[in-house]
Amino acid sequence: MVDLYGQYVRLKDEIDRAMMEVIASSAFINGPAVRTFAGHLSEYTGAEYVIPCGNGTDALQAALASLHLLPGDEVLVPDFTFIATVETVALLGLTPVIMDVDPDTFLIDPASIGKYITPKTKAIIPVHLFGQCVDMAPLLEEAEKYELKVIEDAAQALGAWYTFPDGTRKMAGTMGDIGCTSFFPSKNLGAFGDGGAVFTDDEGLAATIRSYVNHGTQKKYYHERIGINSRLDTLQAAILDVKLTHLDEFIEARQRVADWYDEHLGPLSFLRIPARAANTTHSFHQYTLVTRGIDRRHLMNYLKEAGIPSMIYYPLPMHRQEAFSGFPFYHKEFPVADQLCNTVMSLPVHTEMNEEQLDYITTYIKNYQHG
C-alpha cells in the first residue's frame, strides 16, 4: 500500500545527515531538532502553537484533556473513522456520541449536528478522513451556536487546504480550537516510528497541552496536573524536519495517483471513485473506492493474484466495536457507516508510484470479470 523504503532511498542523503547530527549530539530526548521541527511545522501550517508529542492518539487525548470537560460530557465523533478518535474520548471518562457520515465524501455533514445535540454536548471532533477536510465553515457556525469546542482530527489530512466562503484558506488542523495530527510512518508526513503534534492558536490551551504531555509540568519536578509522558523523539523530529520540506511534493504525487485512478476507474460500473468534497483540496492519504453490485472480497482476491495490494479502511464502524458495548450507540442505526464498511476498498497510493505501476493496476482492474 505504501513504499516507505523507496521514499527513504530517494531522500537518503538528507535524512542520513539529519539522523547522524542527532546521534553525534546525543540529545535524544527533547533535543534541538524537536523545537526546530515544531517551528517549521508552525510556519507550514499557519498554526500559532505546535506541540509535538508521541503519536496522533496522544495528541487527541491531550487536546481533549485540555478542555476541562467533566465526566459524562458528550463529544460528537464520526462513526466511520479510526478508533483513536473515539477511544480517547472514552478513556477520559467523556461520552462519545456517534454521528453517521455522508455516503459520498465519507465525512460528517455539519447540517446533521443539530440532531445529536443534548444539554451535555460540549465538543466535536471532525475527522478529515482520507485526506480531505470536513466542511468547516458550516461546522464552525454550528459549533458556535451550540457552544461546542472543536478538535480537528487531521491525522490523515496534514497539508490539505480548506477554503472559506470569503476566500480565505486554512490548513487542516488549524481551523478549530485545537488540531491533531499523526506522523505514523504511512501518514502523509511519516516518521520512521511514532510521532504526533497538536496545533492551536490559543496560548492558554497551548500551555495546558504542553504541560499535559510532559507529566503535567511546566517547571521540572513541580507538577500542576496529572499528565502523561508523550514526547516526539529527537531522531524522528530530525527526519520529519527533512520530510516536511518535501510534503507539498508528496501530496502532489498522491494527487497524481488519484487523478490517474479517477480517469481510468471512473467509467467502471462496479466501482465508485472517491467524491471530491466541496471547498477542500484532497491530500489522498487513502484512495478509497466504493464497490457496487460485486463481491468485494472476490475483487480483492483477484487483485491479490496479480500482486496488487488492497485494504479495507474500515471494516467495522465505531457503533459495532465491542470496546463500546457499554455505550448507548452500540448496535444502533447508522446505515451509511454500515453500508460503507461493507463496500469500501482502498488501493495503493504513495509518493513513489510510477505510470507503469498505475497502468498495470488499472488495466488489470478493467479486465475484472464479475457477476
Ligand X SMILES: *Cc1c(COP(=O)(O)O)cnc(C)c1O
In the DSSP assignment, the letter for residue 215 is T
- By CB under 6 A, the residues from 182 to 201 that bind ligand X are 182, 184, 194, 196
Q: How far is the CB of 304 from ligand X (least distance, A)?
A: 24
Return the CA Rg of the chain.
Answer: 21
Residue with nearest beta carbon to ligand X = 56
Cβ contact 129:106 at 8 Å: yes
Q: How far is the CB of 224 from ligand X (least distance, A)?
A: 25
Q: Which is nearer to ligand X, 56 or 110 (CB)?
A: 56
Cβ contact 18:242 at 8 Å: yes
Binding of residue 61 to ligand X (CB under 6 A): no
Helices (H), the chain: 4-25, 32-45, 56-65, 84-91, 136-145, 203-212, 234-244, 247-265, 296-305, 335-343, 355-366
Binding of residue 334 to ligand X (CB under 6 A): no
Distant-in-sequence, close-in-space partners of 263: CB < 8 Å, separation ≥ 6 = none
Strands 74-78, 121-124: pairing is: parallel
Among 98, 150, 155, 337, binds ligand X (CB under 6 A): 155
- By CB under 6 A, the residues from 67 to 106 that bind ligand X are 81-82, 84-85
Binding of residue 127 to ligand X (CB under 6 A): yes
In the DSSP assignment, the letter for residue 151 is E
Among 57, 105, 200, 346, binds ligand X (CB under 6 A): 57
Q: Which is nearer to ligand X, 247 or 265 (CB)?
A: 247
Q: Which stretch binds ligand X (CB under 6 A): 117-125, 149-157, 200-208, 328-336?
A: 149-157
Q: How far is the CB of 167 from ligand X (least distance, A)?
A: 28
Q: Which is nearer to ligand X, 89 or 143 (CB)?
A: 89
Give me the DSSP letters along 349-363.
--TT--HHHHHHHHH
Binding of residue 56 to ligand X (CB under 6 A): yes
Q: Which is nearer to ligand X, 55 or 214 (CB)?
A: 55
Q: Which is nearer to ligand X, 73 or 152 (CB)?
A: 152
Binding of residue 156 to ligand X (CB under 6 A): yes
Q: How far is the CB of 130 from ligand X (least distance, A)?
A: 9
Binding of residue 310 to ligand X (CB under 6 A): no
Q: How far is the CB of 105 from ligand X (least distance, A)?
A: 15
Query: Site map for ligand X, 166-185, x if CB under 6 A?
Result: ----------------x-x-
Cβ contact 257:284 at 8 Å: yes
Q: Which three cell numbers stand for residue 282?
A: 484532497
* SS3 track for 67-110: CCCCCCCEEEEECCCCCHHHHHHHHCCCEEEEECCCCCCCCCCH
In the DSSP assignment, the letter for residue 307 is T
H and E: helices and strands count for the chain: 11, 14
Which residues make beta-bridge pairs with 50? 199
Among 74, 109, 153, 177, binds ligand X (CB under 6 A): 153
Binding of residue 241 to ligand X (CB under 6 A): no
Q: Which is nearer to ligand X, 63 or 265 (CB)?
A: 63
Measured between alpha carbons, how far is 369 from 166 in angstroms, rounded to an integer? 48
Which residues make beta-bridge pairs with 98? 77
Binding of residue 55 to ligand X (CB under 6 A): yes
Q: How many residues bind ligand X (CB under 6 A)?
A: 15
Which residues contact ligand X (rule: CB under 6 A)?
A: 55-57, 81-82, 84-85, 127, 153, 155-156, 182, 184, 194, 196
